């Protein structure tokens, strides 16, 4: 399961190597899917893959699309045809073994079957967490509660989005900045859950058996600049901008994915350079590269050993078109 964002690529495994490598030396294009005219998007804000199929949402056009790999076809998911009056304002979209879950800022959630047909509304007590991903017989999410930024919560849900377990953690780096600055992500791998926030490259692991959360892996990329401190807690927009400005140059983690059992993909953005990066992190290997993405490319996520990028490029007819490009590591 996957979560997403935009970036240039920095691949980190073990000790960093600062040499720049051409994109095509590291990636081999395995497929390119030009989005048909009926797939109208302003970008992709959430993405997930469960193998050959993938699903994505766009909070600009407020649309959701499912790609069926076997059919090589896109389908728009339209739950308002089954539930008239449902207003689509997508936050995130994710698979689990039974279906597809949309978290939404109007009605909090909607569920689809794996083929994209309507499944229904979950219980009305569900409140969308910051991040959510498919998990064993349900879902798992990461959230904060209004009274404290210091404590983060891992919430386990059943298929109907009832909370079955809640685990708190009071050891997060830069919690106030994490809440106020968009980014980070959550992924599952068997009984383990990995997550990172926007305010650090630190990846944490949650063991669903022991119900423990510990720091797991941190980027050694020379391009990742950790914030020097946390910001003060504030609800004032002007104070927030001032607090962040006073931090000076720092990186912002924008997403987290998992390519295999030991290799993580973490995206981040350096505003002081206006450059986006992705790190491939592992505590088992010692190879490292830094690669700039081609202009107009956006990293989406991973699935079925593919790395997905969205590109907006000019075609022979002079029009700019979106494509989803699948690459494998060379």
Tokens found for residue 322: 């979106």
| Inside any domain, residue 2 | no
Query: Could you list the residue range(s) of the whole structural domain that residue 59 is in?
Result: 9-329
d(CA 309, CA 23): 12
3-state helix, strand, coil in the chain (%, to 5): 5, 50, 45
Angle at 66 between CA 198 and CA 159, to 5 degrees: 70
- pLDDT score for 103: 93
The tens digit of pLDDT for each residue in 72-112 reads 999 999 887 788 888 889 999 999 999 999 999 878 899 99
> Would you say how long the chain is, in residues?
330
| Inside any domain, residue 147 | yes
- pLDDT score for 3: 41
| Inside any domain, residue 258 | yes
The tens digit of pLDDT for each residue in 9-63 reads 333 333 444 446 778 888 899 999 999 989 989 889 999 999 899 999 998 999 9
| Inside any domain, residue 1 | no
Regions of the chain short of the pLDDT cut 50: 1-19
| Inside any domain, residue 295 | yes
| Inside any domain, residue 148 | yes
- pLDDT score for 6: 32
Concatenating the DSSP letter of every residue in 185-219 gives EEEEETTEEEEEETT-S-EEEEETTTTEEEEEE--
The CATH number of the domain where 107 resides is what?
2.120.10.30
| Residues in contact with 40: Cβ distance below 8 Å, sequence separation at least 6, in sequence order | 61, 63
- pLDDT score for 22: 78
Give the total number of structural domains in the chain: 1
| Inside any domain, residue 4 | no
Average pLDDT, the chain: 87
Rg (CA), the chain: 19
| Inside any domain, residue 100 | yes
**What is the SS3 string spanning 295-322?**
CCEEEEEEECCEEEEEEEEECCCCCEEE
- pLDDT score for 163: 95
Residue 11 has phi, psi (to 5 degrees) of: -100, 120
């Amino acid at each position: 399961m996957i979560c997403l964002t935009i970036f240039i690529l920095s691949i980190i495994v073990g000790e960093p190597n600062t040499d720049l490598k051409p994109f095509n030396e590291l990636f081999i294009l395995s497929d390119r899917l030009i989005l048909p005219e009926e797939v109208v998007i302003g970008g992709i804000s959430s993405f997930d893959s469960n193998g050959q199929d993938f699903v994505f949402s766009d909070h600009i056009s407020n649309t959701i699309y499912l790609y069926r790999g076997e059919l090589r076809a896109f389908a728009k998911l339209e739950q308002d045809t089954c539930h008239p009056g449902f207003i689509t304002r997508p936050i995130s979209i994710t698979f689990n073994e039974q279906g597809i879950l949309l978290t939404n800022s109007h009605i909090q959630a909607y569920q689809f079957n794996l083929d994209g047909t309507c499944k229904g509304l979950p219980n009305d007590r569900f409140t969308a967490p910051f991040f959510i991903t498919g998990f064993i017989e349900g879902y798992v999410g990461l959230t904060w509660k209004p009274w404290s930024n210091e404590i983060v919560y891992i919430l386990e849900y059943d298929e109907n989005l009832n909370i079955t377990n809640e685990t708190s953690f009071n050891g997060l780096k830069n919690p106030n900045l994490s809440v106020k600055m968009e980014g980070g992500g959550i992924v599952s791998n068997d009984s383990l859950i990995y997550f990172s926030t926007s305010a650090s490259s630190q990846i944490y692991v949650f063991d669903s058996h022991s119900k423990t959360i510990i720091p797991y892996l941190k980027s050694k990329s020379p391009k990742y600049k950790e914030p020097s401190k946390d910001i003060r807690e504030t609800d004032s927009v002007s104070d927030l901008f001032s607090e962040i400005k006073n931090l000076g140059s720092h990186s912002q983690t924008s997403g987290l994915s998992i390519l295999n059992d030991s290799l993580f993909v973490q995206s981040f953005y350096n505003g002081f350079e206006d450059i986006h990066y992705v790190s491939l992190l592992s505590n088992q290997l010692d190879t490292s590269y830094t690669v700039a993405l081609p202009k107009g490319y956006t990293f989406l996520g991973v699935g079925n050993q593919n790395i997905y990028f969205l590109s907006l490029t000019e075609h022979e007819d002079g029009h700019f078109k979106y494509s989803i490009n699948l690459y494998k590591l060379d």
